[in-house]
Amino acid sequence: MTTADDFWPALPLGPGVKVLAHDANGVGALDKPAGVLSHPNEAKDAARSLLTCRYDHEAECFVWTTAGGESRLWLLNRLDGATSGVILVAADATVARAIKQQFAKKQIRKVYQALVFGKPAERSQHWQDRLAVQKTGGMVRTSATRGHVPANTQMQFLKSAQGAFSTSLLQLEPHTGRSHQLRVQCAKRRLPIVGDQTYGDFALNRAFAKATGLKRLFLHSLETGFDYELGGKKFSFRAAAPLPAEFTRTY
């Protein structure tokens, strides 16, 4: 019989993926590097995904074979491939359903940090927008104009750097979970996230990459926390992924 002590160390983790935390009920958090997919869209993507194995899109879980039989790991949320940081998983289907209910009720606290071009006018702001989200052919595009989907984020300015590039490190806590929400909300306020190839400043991205040698989307899922109920008992789960070194190399 596979125990929790055996299960988590034996995960077929993707390149650079690390286990951050897990509890006795099977709730876990992984640290996903930028460039790694949350899950493979096709079989050929498995080698560069969170886990290097088959993904069941209908059940939303990874499946692989071990000496003890078939193992599964349920994916609880997703990050864009270019975004790094905390991503939640569960080793049990019942637990997965319980946590997804928390997401549906917007009872999951998520904290991101982003390196942006420019500096916000205020140290703290509550951003409220109406977004238009379009999904076509597997591609997602989000706009902050003529939309009707509410998007709310709390922004906190952390620090800035003045040099060849004016950049700021922001802490962003989304209260809604829209596709590309943080990237679009930053861009709308003329604070494009460094390295954003869809909504960012393309000329500044090229100049920044050439000057620093750093080429990635500078958006990181820093912390995630929530309370949940299982079997009539209440539990708390918290996980944090250290800010990647490339964020601090710009200061």
Q: What is the pLDDT of residues 4-43, one digit of tens each?
A: 668 999 999 999 999 999 999 999 999 999 999 999 988 8
Least confident of 69-73, 76-80, 133-137: 133-137
Name the DSSP class of 244: P
pLDDT tens string 89-98: 999 999 999 8
Amino acid at 145: T
DSSP for 52-110 reads SSEEETTTTEEEEEETTEEEEEEE-----TT-EEEEEEESSHHHHHHHHHHHHTT--EE
Q: Is the predicted pLDDT of residue 3 greater than 60, yes or no? A: no
SS3 state at 187: helix
**Quick check: helix, strand or coil at residue 200?**
coil
Quote the distance between the C-alpha of residue 89 and its chain's center: 12
Please state, in angstroms and rounded to a whole number, the distance separating the CA atoms of residues 34 and 79.
10
Closest by CA to 156, choosing from 145, 138, 169, 147, is 169
Domains in the chain (CATH in brackets) are 4-105 (3.30.70), 111-219 (3.30.2350.10)
Residue 20: both structure tokens together: 């951050």
Among 71, 84, 81, CA closest to 20: 84
Place of tokens 């905390």: 86
* Distance from C-alpha of 112 to C-alpha of 155, rounded to nearest angstrom: 10
210-246, pLDDT tens digit by residue? 999 999 999 999 999 999 989 899 999 999 999 999 9
Inter-residue contact 221 to 85 (CB < 8 Å): yes
- Whole-prediction pTM value? 0.91
| Alpha-helix runs per DSSP H in the chain | 4-7, 93-104, 181-188, 202-212, 245-248
- What are the residues whose beta carbons fall under 8 Å from the beta carbon of 2, sequence distance 6 or more? 66, 68, 71
Dihedral sign for Cα 92, 98, 101, 106, please.
negative
Q: Render pLDDT for 96-129 as a digit per residue (tens, 0 to 9).
A: 998 888 887 778 899 999 999 999 999 999 999 9
Q: What is the token pair recorded at 33? A: 């590097």
| Structure confidence at residue 1 (pLDDT) | 39
Dihedral of CA 196/38/223/19: which sign? negative
Beta-bridged to residue 236, according to DSSP, are: 227
Which three-class secondary structure state does DSSP give residue 43? Answer: helix
- Exposure on the CB side of residue 157, measured as CA atoms within 13 A: 15
Cα distance between residue 123 and residue 20, in whole Å: 30
Residue 250, pLDDT > 70, answer no
Alpha carbon of residue 97 to chain centroid: 20
